[in-house]
């Protein structure tokens, strides 16, 4: 169904009347453009209406009303998105970004959050009790979307993926029911939510396991780019025996003076004294330009990384997962990735190991459970011209294609472009058929398709 601007107000009066706390925004409303904006300024999608929900009942009413009128539906969490899947052109957006409450139980060591809560919201609330959980690396990222895709981050070696710390979730299904998914209730859905994407319903609240943690040993180690091959080979040998408490991000970035450098960014979440001994070899891999590693609160660490990816800039991203740094992949990164196309672009490589690797491939929907490196090829630029945009996009695509022959088939589903749909089944491997069964059970009409995509008639049968 197509909605014209003149129809909006009349058609949506019924929905507006039943929203208990939220509001409806339309393209001609003063606040619409600001609310429509996602973190990635490149996304220009304009929904017909945005339902800003404040309660679970708001979500239920909006799902039922939207489906009754046959309108396309999408769901927005915190809005820190790369490809704009949370916005449907001329559709209805269920906006959860104002539902951000966080409740900490310091005795049980759990956190209950609403669906719009960001990493920063959770970290700040848990820090007051000396607790934390696995998160990503940017404070503005929503915990819900991060969890549904798996969730890489600096504590992955000690605590696993973000999804591995999920204890329970409340979900509004495609027919407007509210169900709880955990190890006892709807365990099949609970399995799918941990890394299977947002394909089965709208997650409105989540419960996480927390761990005693306030301070980590972390920071940047910078090396000259002409030493990259040597440093990365030594780094590859080092991470094979690194303890769970140490997770290291690596890659390439530009310094403020315009120099391209190789960086290693260790995060050690054990005793600082032990961490200094563990991290010491990283300082010997080449000629250190900068050493910023020091004790820092986990809250400050995550917020300190925000400056690298401000909201409103234009972004495009490709990803490949590698079985370590081999000569061929190191050469591909250097020869095809450098120089970086802008001062804001970077190559960021996550170190998947430890607790995350000890989870069985079939225990959660997230299937790639062996040690690996997840490479993010992040093109970032201030908008100037369409030609300039294509240059940045082609840079990321070119490196991704160069790495593909050496990479695992599939990819990290949170970072796959809609044009890479063929990689999705490969990312889930043997879990894919089980996910399709869940889709048929909880969303047979394919209302939600942020990851797996539209089911074909053959798959629906």
Percent of the chain topping pLDDT 90: 89
Mean pLDDT of the chain: 93
* The pLDDT value given to residue 456: 39
223 shares a domain with 202: no
Let me know if residue 298 belongs to a domain.
Answer: yes
Q: What is the pLDDT of residues 311-321, one digit of tens each?
A: 999 999 999 99
What is the distance between the alpha carbons of residues 397 and 392, in angstroms, rounded to a whole number?
9
Query: Is 446 a member of any domain?
Result: no
Task: Please calculate the CA angle 228-335-371 and round it to the nearest 5 degrees.
Answer: 60
pLDDT in tens, 176-222: 999 999 999 999 999 999 999 989 999 999 999 999 999 999 999 99
Which residue, 44, 62, 95, sits at the end of a domain? 95
Average pLDDT over residues 329-344: 97
Average the pLDDT over 228-244 and give the result: 98
pLDDT at 250 over 90: yes
Domain boundary among 383, 404, 419: 419
Q: Give the sign of the dihedral formed by CA 448, CA 451, CA 454, CA 459.
A: negative
pLDDT at position 461: 44
Provide the 3-class DSSP secondary structure of residue 316. Answer: strand
In a domain, 436, yes or no: no
* Confidence category of residue 385, pLDDT binned at 50, 70, 90: low
Instruction: Mark whether 281 and 137 lie in a shared domain.
Output: no
**In-domain check, residue 441:** no
**DSSP per-residue string spanning 165-207:** GEEEEEEE-TTS-EEEEESSSSHHHHHHHTTS-S-SSEEEEEE
Considering its fold, how many domains does the chain have in total?
A: 3
φ/ψ region of 410 (left if φ > 0, alpha if ψ in -120 to 50, else beta) reads left
The answer as to whether 388 is a domain residue is: yes
What CATH number has the domain bearing residue 15? Answer: 3.30.43.10
Nearest to 195 by CA among 460, 435, 439: 435
Q: Are residues 237 and 185 in the same domain?
A: no
Is 90 exceeded by the pLDDT of residue 145? yes
245 lies in the same domain as 373? yes
In this predicted structure, the answer to whether residue 454 has a pLDDT above a threshold of 60 is: no
Instruction: Check pLDDT > 90 for residue 109.
Output: yes
185: CATH: 3.30.465.10
For residue 325, pLDDT over 70 is answered with: yes
Q: Which of 212, 247, 274 is the last residue of a domain?
A: 212
One domain for residues 405 and 324 = yes
pLDDT for 5 equals 47
* pLDDT band with cut points at 50, 70 and 90 for residue 458: very low
Per-residue pLDDT reduced to its tens digit, 88-102:
999 999 999 999 999
Q: Rounded CA gap, 118 and 260, in Å?
A: 31
| Residues 246 and 143 placed together within one structural domain of the fold | no
For residue 437, pLDDT over 80 is answered with yes
Q: Let me know whether 355 and 344 are in one domain.
A: yes
pTM of the model: 0.95
Could you tell me if 53 and 181 lie in one domain? no
Give dist(CA 163, CA 359) in Å, integer: 11
- Return the top range by mean pLDDT from 2-16, 61-75, 377-391: 61-75
* Assigned domain for 461 exists: no
Q: Average pLDDT of 134-149? A: 97
**Whether 50 and 190 share a structural domain:** no
If asked whether residues 231 and 282 sit together in one domain, one would say yes
Residue 8 — very low, low, confident or very high, per pLDDT cuts 50/70/90? Answer: low
Residue 126: give the domain boundaries: 102-212
For residues 210 and 109, the answer to whether their CB atoms sit within 8 Å is yes
Shared domain for 337 and 309, answered yes or no, is: yes
* Residue 305: band (very low, low, confident or very high) from pLDDT cuts 50, 70, 90: confident
- pLDDT of 453 above 90: no
Q: Are residues 115 and 56 in the same domain?
A: no
């Amino acid at each position: 169904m197509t909605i014209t601007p003149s129809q909006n107000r009349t058609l949506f009066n019924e929905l507006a009347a039943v929203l208990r706390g939220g509001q409806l925004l339309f393209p001609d409303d003063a606040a619409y453009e600001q609310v429509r904006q996602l973190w990635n300024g490149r996304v220009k999608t304009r929904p017909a209406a945005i339902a800003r929900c404040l309660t679970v009942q708001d979500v239920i009413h909006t799902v039922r009303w939207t489906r009754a009128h046959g309108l396309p539906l999408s769901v927005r969490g915190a809005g820190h998105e790369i490809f704009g899947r949370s916005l449907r052109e001329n559709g209805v957006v269920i906006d959860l970004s104002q539902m951000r409450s966080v409740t900490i139980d310091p005795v049980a060591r759990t956190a209950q959050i609403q669906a719009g809560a960001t990493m920063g919201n959770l970290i700040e609330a848990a820090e007051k009790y000396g607790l934390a959980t696995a998160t990503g690396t940017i404070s503005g990222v929503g915990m819900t979307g991060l969890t549904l895709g798996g969730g890489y981050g600096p504590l992955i070696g000690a605590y696993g993926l973000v999804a591995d710390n999920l204890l329970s979730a409340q979900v509004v299904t495609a027919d407007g029911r509210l169900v709880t998914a955990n190890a006892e209730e709807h365990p099949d859905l609970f399995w799918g939510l941990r890394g299977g994407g947002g394909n089965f319903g709208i997650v409105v609240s989540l419960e996480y396991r927390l761990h005693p943690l306030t301070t980590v040993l972390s920071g940047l180690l910078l090396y000259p780019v002409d030493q990259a091959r040597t440093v990365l080979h030594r780094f590859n040998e080092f991470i094979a025996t690194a303890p769970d408490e140490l997770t290291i991000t690596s890659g390439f970035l530009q310094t403020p003076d315009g120099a391209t450098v190789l960086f290693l960014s260790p995060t050690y979440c054990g005793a600082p004294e032990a961490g200094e001994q563990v991290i010491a070899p990283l300082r010997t891999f080449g000629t250190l330009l900068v050493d910023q590693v020091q004790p820092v609160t986990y809250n400050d660490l995550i917020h300190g990384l925000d400056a690298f990816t401000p909201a409103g800039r234009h972004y495009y991203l490709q990803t490949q997962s590698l079985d370590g740094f081999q000569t061929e992949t190191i050469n591909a990164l250097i020869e095809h990735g450098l120089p970086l196309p802008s001062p804001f672009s970077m190559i960021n490589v996550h170190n998947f190991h430890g607790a995350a690797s000890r989870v069985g491939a079939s225990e959660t929907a997230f299937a790639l459970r062996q040690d690996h490196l997840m490479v993010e090829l992040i093109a970032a630029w201030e908008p100037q011209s369409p030609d300039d945009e294509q240059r940045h996009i082609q840079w990321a695509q070119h490196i991704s294609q160069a790495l593909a022959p050496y990479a695992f088939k599939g990819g990290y589903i949170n970072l796959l472009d809609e044009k890479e749909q063929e990689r999705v089944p490969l990312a889930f491997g043997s879990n894919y058929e089980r996910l399709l069964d869940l889709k048929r059970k909880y969303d047979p009409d394919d209302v939600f398709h942020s990851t797996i995509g539209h089911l074909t008639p053959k798959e629906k049968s």
